[in-house]
A and B are shown apart, each in its own frame.
Chain A
Amino acid sequence: MAIDRRLVHNIEWGLLMACLLVAGIGVATIVSATFSTRLAGIYVKQLWGLGLGLLGLLVVAGIDYRRLVDRAHLLYVPTVCVLGSVLAFAPRIAGTKRWFLIGGMQVQPSEFAKLVAALFLAKFFADSKKDSLGLTDLLVPGAAIGLMAALIAAEPDLGTAFTLVPMFLVVAFLAGLRMKALFGLLLAGVLVGSLAWVFALKDYQKARIYSFLDPTLDPKGKGYQKIQSEIAVGSGGLMGKGYKHGTQAQLGYLPARHTDFVFSVLAEENGFLGVVLVLGLYLFILWRCFETAQLARDRVGVFLAAAVAAGLSFQVVYNVAMVAGLVPVKGLPLPLMSYGGSSVLSSLLALGLIFNVRMRRFAN
């Protein structure tokens, strides 16, 4: 596949550097969180994941996004099948069925389903030529994305399933969803949420939400993660306790400290200054992603970039808010920083789509 030289010229180097910087900070934090434990050395796997992800980014960026979006329906069907087979065949790990074991690696299909969802959303809303959309216009894409979300939520992986919601809403909003319809949708969301609370949520999910509301009820139970993370963050102070010197992280009080709570380790060891630096980098990256949508030369590009940006933004905001104890704990990794091959790969492929749209903003 030949890549147009002009495209390489149009690569947004600042964005790439920011991504690599955040990923590098992530690796360093993973090292700190694991070096004194059995998991010492897993950062090497993270580096491999990042390398593979960068390669994937280039590949994804290289294929014209319009060709990808054109074939989104071809990707959608197998993705739903894979998500279904995860439920049917995946081994139960820690009470959930999220991963396939491929060659000794845990692969999490839901991470990649997000990308397919972005492509699907771009295709569907670009094809619809209406200027103004009502609720009825959302039925088809809503059902398609809803099916994916339902399959993912059943694993159960509520965090990833939830990520699809802002992606869908943002694209629908951009595509001209009437404000009345948007508020109606949000209202319906609240309703469905309360119904789900009664009928669909598993006990552990309810317990998490209860414990979020008052973690001191059961400090060693479900609220433990929230409390310990809050203590880690708060005790970091302005300057932090120093790299590899976070007592909460190093003495094992922080659970999932190299995965979902990696930001907590960063906040403890590097303090408010570290937090502001990394949040600034994320804001820069996400802003550039949305800017890409602004700059895209066609509706497909706008929708694709916006869907990806919305998904990444939701993950970043939710994860950071979770670490600060503002929202219930859900298994949602921090893009680029949390340990996990699927997450890193999926995040970089998503950024690949952004580069893809951005590089081609001037092309013929």
Chain B
Amino acid sequence: MNKALIIAKRELKSYFVSPVAYVIIGLFLLISGFMYYSILFSSRVAEIRGFLMNMCFVFMLMAPILSMRLLSEEKKLGTLEFLFTSPITVMDIVLGKYLGVILLYLITTAFFLQYPLYLVLFARPDLGPILTSVLGFVLNGAACLAIGLFASSLSENQLISAVVGMITLIFFWIIGWVGDLLPGGAGNFLASLSLIKPLENLSKGLIIASDLFYYAALIFFFLFITVKRLEWKRW
């Protein structure tokens, strides 16, 4: 775990050496600012529900761009071999990489917090849904980045990693619609995979144990297959 933190620290620093982090965070804030403004001024309701759903969708499209380099670049440069031959486990590497990008995401979230803050300052919003919305924003991002990290382990080409990550995420976003089309157990099962449902609940202020479990399971599953994927490559 200690070693994972060392990797996470390096990872976070390297984001700020290249323009990627600045560009992505900057663009994200630009889009979110515009969306916040237009949604709030057209609805004139002091809540961030609709805004949250839109922002999570936008971040879902951006997450693979943030995560694409995590393992692809290491593979391409050959530094993955350096990590693998250091006295650390594959799990340390994967956790470290994941924590690194999560820390970057939390920095983004810190900027994101300004929007609910305006509501608190200038209106009297219902605080409950706002707090759970922020939680939803964090959990949704964490899930997207776990999928992005796995996509990054598949190829040494960053572009391919980003595209695979995006397609996987869009799949998880729209899979809920199948629930309406396919009746019965299969439809229900597929619908339960959707990233939208738990986010909707959280945006309404509902904290449901199964939703939290959904996020935990999704993140765990993708980190787990990333570890397996990296181990498998060595045989």
Do A and B actually bind? no
Binding site for A on B (CB under 8 A): none
